[in-house]
Structures are given as structure tokens and as C-alpha cells.
Amino acid sequence: MKTFVAKEHEVNKKWVVVDAADHVLGRLATQIATRLRGKDKPIFTPHADTGDFVIVVNADKVQMTGRKWDQKFYYRYSGYIGGLKAISAGKLREKRPEDLVRFAVKGMLPKGPLGRRQLKKLKVYAGPEHPHQAQQPEQWEI
């Protein structure tokens, strides 16, 4: 018996919508990353993109446990001396709540070209509306 290897152009990719309201960020991100990679499918192939498209709505209503809103920081570096910028999770939630979910999922995907391609299939929106009605996404309950 030969081992089955999925080819990306033969995989049927669905669109799903998940409501992030009142979900804990890390637990939600693990489910989304699993779905983006395609690990929930029996045809999962590690080197191929077999996952689905995921639309996340209400990203501004996501929860964190403990005191992470004040104590968790996100860093970026400009490349210059003294160019390290830090923003707390609470301030990031006020400015760009979509980035909270995107950063959490990005850390759980493979590093390299495959992971970047899989991250492009994640669409995150702060409010309850999204512009992907034409793809006929189905509701995904977590």
C-alpha cells in the first residue's frame, strides 16, 4: 500500500466563519491554526497547504485570562539603535484588535513560505460584519 500525498490543487478548501466573542485568545488561536493548516482533515500533508479559509469576526470581544491585558506586551524592532517598541495587549486591543488574533495564530503556524501562505487565508475583523458573503462561508462553532 502506498502512502497518500495530497496535492494542493486537488484539495477542496471551504470558508468558515468563527465568532471570537467571549473566547479565550490562546484556545481560539489553536483551533484556528489547526483549521488553517488542515490538520483536522484525514488528507493532511505537512508540506502542502490543505487547510480551509477562516474568517474571524468580533475580534475586539476576545478574552484573555489573568492580568494579561496589562502584563502581556507585543514588541517590534525598527532595526535602529533604541528602536524597540512595545505595546501592551490592552492598548493593542484599543488600536488594532484584529492584530491580537493574527499574532496569536501566526505564532502557531509553520515558519517559512508555507506558513506565510497559510496565514493569508486568515481574515480577521473587529466587528460582526465581513465582506466575504460571496464565498458562502459556513458558521463554525468552537
- Spatial separation of the C-alpha atoms in residues 19 and 60, rounded to whole Å: 11
Reply yes or no on whether the pLDDT at 1 is more than 90: no
The pLDDT value recorded for residue 103 is: 98
Nearest alpha-carbon partner for 28 in 74, 64, 52: 64
pLDDT in tens, 81-132: 999 999 999 999 999 999 999 999 999 999 999 999 999 999 999 999 999 9
Backbone angles phi, psi at 75, to 5 degrees: -115, 150
Residue with the three cell numbers 463554525: 140
Per DSSP, the residues of 56-69 read EE-GGG-B-STTHH
The pLDDT value recorded for residue 4 is: 87
pLDDT in tens, 31-88: 999 999 999 999 999 999 999 999 999 999 999 999 999 999 999 999 999 999 999 9
CA-angle at 94, arms to 93 and 96, nearest 5°: 65
13-139: CATH topology is Ribosomal Protein L13p; Chain: A; (3.90.1180)
